[in-house]
């Protein structure tokens, strides 16, 4: 399994006590580099062109300028340091590398920060500067993979992602998220042009209910419509014990969901983009479970999909 990252992602300084800390990525990369099942590669920083597919030039110039003057607060919980613009470019570069890998036939993961699914076209929010997953989706479309399914299992609704794709019938967006919770969007009746599949759920429910609800929405979004690429906004703050969420998922639930996505769409490459997850050890556990499941059923593996969990695979 290929993992793309960039060292500047670790230089994004959010300040002491901020939950979106460099430790999230440090712990994960240490785990991945110690496991020979994963190939960790350094991506190139993103050029401006792919960013302009999503964000206006004036917004990008404003972010870059703020970093060049030492950084500052963008809202009450979103901050830039002097290195944050470089980190954002490194993060998007990793996403572009992962999309290109998937386009060429090998699933990939972007181990990055800052996250992206709250970022709007002209506004940073919720720790997010650039809309990483949407930029990846637009890059995939530029490569000829026009139909994109975005699955967002972060505990918070990806309001930025939804706002950026809800008028594009070629992109379908599925989000399981805690309701009510930040950012207050993502009701089930928000349907876009029929391409939005929101699954708002209360905190504290049994794990199986979250898995079943998300899977039902993914299956409905697929329907008779076959994507050319799947982008997973892979937040792991829906796990039990996360300080910013109240869901109850465990690492094996991400393994189950990943396996079922691969079995449901066996000929569709998958790109995963790191979002939230604010206990570094638990974040790493979730990522490893997710990637291990994908690696066990590589892209292109024939599979007879059924609407029931597949039995464990024996080695």
Domain count, the chain: 1
Told to judge if 118 belongs to the known catalytic residues of this protein, a careful annotator would answer yes
Residue 302's pLDDT is what?
Answer: 58
In a domain, 230, yes or no: yes
In a domain, 227, yes or no: yes
Q: What is the pLDDT of residues 5-42, one digit of tens each?
A: 999 999 999 999 999 999 999 999 999 999 999 999 99
In a domain, 306, yes or no: no
Mean pLDDT along residues 222-246: 97
Is 34 within 8 Å of 97 (Cβ atoms)?
Answer: no
In a domain, 301, yes or no: no
Residue 309's pLDDT is what?
Answer: 39
Identify the band that residue 297 occupies on the pLDDT scale cut at 50, 70 and 90.
Answer: confident
Q: What is the pLDDT of residues 46-63, one digit of tens each?
A: 999 999 999 999 999 999
In a domain, 228, yes or no: yes
Q: What is the pLDDT of residues 77-95, one digit of tens each?
A: 999 999 999 999 999 999 9
Q: Smallest Cα–Cα separation from 244: which of 80, 77, 4? A: 77
DSSP-derived 3-state class of residue 206: coil
Catalytic residue among 55, 118, 156, 290: 118
Kind of pairing, strands 108-110 and 2-5? parallel
In a domain, 215, yes or no: yes
In a domain, 31, yes or no: yes
Q: Indicate whether 301 pLDDT > 80.
A: no
In a domain, 309, yes or no: no
Residue indicated by tokens 């460099």: 22
Residue 182's pLDDT is what?
Answer: 98
Q: What is the pLDDT of residues 132-180, one digit of tens each?
A: 999 999 999 999 999 999 999 999 999 999 999 999 999 999 999 999 9
- CATH number of the domain where residue 269 is located: 3.40.800.20
Identify the band that residue 306 occupies on the pLDDT scale cut at 50, 70 and 90.
Answer: very low
Residue 274's pLDDT is what?
Answer: 98
Q: Indicate whether 303 pLDDT > 60.
A: no
Identify the band that residue 312 occupies on the pLDDT scale cut at 50, 70 and 90.
Answer: very low
Q: What is the pLDDT of residues 111-133, one digit of tens each?
A: 999 999 999 999 999 999 999 99
Give φ, ψ of 222 to 5 degrees: -65, -55
Q: Indicate whether 269 pLDDT > 80.
A: yes
Tokens of 165: 């794709």
Provide the whole-model pTM.
Answer: 0.94
**Rounded CA separation 298/314 (Å):** 15
> Exposure pattern of 260-299 as b/e (b: 16+ CB <10 Å)?
bbbbbbbebbbbbbbbbbbbbebbbbbbbbbbbbbebbeb
Q: Indicate whether 298 pLDDT > 90.
A: no
Q: What is the pLDDT of residues 186-205, one digit of tens each?
A: 999 999 999 999 999 999 99
Q: Indicate whether 311 pLDDT > 60.
A: no
* Residue 75 structural domain: 2-296
């Amino acid at each position: 399994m290929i993992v793309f990252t960039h060292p500047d992602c670790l230089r994004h300084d959010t300040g002491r006590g901020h939950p979106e800390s460099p430790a999230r990525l440090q712990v994960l990369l240490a785990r991945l580099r110690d496991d020979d099942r994963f190939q960790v590669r350094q991506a190139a920083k993103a050029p401006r062109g792919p960013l302009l597919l999503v964000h206006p030039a004036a917004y990008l110039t404003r972010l870059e300028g703020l970093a060049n003057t030492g950084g500052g607060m963008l809202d009450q919980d979103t901050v830039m340091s002097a290195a944050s613009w470089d980190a954002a470019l490194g993060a998007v570069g990793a996403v572009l590398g992962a999309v290109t890998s998937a386009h060429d036939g090998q699933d990939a993961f972007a181990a990055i920060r800052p996250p992206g699914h709250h970022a709007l076209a002209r506004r940073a929010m919720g720790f997010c500067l650039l809309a990483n997953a949407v930029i990846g989706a637009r890059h995939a479309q530029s490569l000829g993979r026009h139909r994109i399914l975005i699955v967002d299992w972060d505990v918070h609704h990806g309001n930025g992602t939804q706002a950026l794709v809800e008028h594009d019938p070629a992109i379908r967006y599925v989000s399981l998220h805690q309701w009510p919770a930040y950012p207050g969007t993502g009701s089930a009746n928000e349907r876009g042009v029929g391409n939005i599949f929101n699954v708002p759920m209360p905190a504290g429910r049994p794990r199986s209910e979250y898995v079943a609800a998300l899977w039902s929405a993914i299956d409905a979004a697929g329907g008779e419509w076959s994507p050319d690429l799947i982008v997973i906004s892979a937040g792991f703050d829906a796990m039990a014990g996360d300080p910013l969420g109240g869901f109850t998922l465990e690492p094996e639930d991400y393994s189950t969901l990943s396996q079922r996505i691969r079995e449901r769409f066996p000929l569709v490459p998958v790109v995963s983009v790191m979002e939230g997850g604010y206990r570094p050890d638990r974040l790493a556990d979730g990522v490893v479970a997710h990637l291990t499941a994908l690696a066990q059923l590589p892209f292109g593996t024939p599979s007879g999909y059924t609407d029931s969990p597949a039995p464990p695979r024996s080695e």
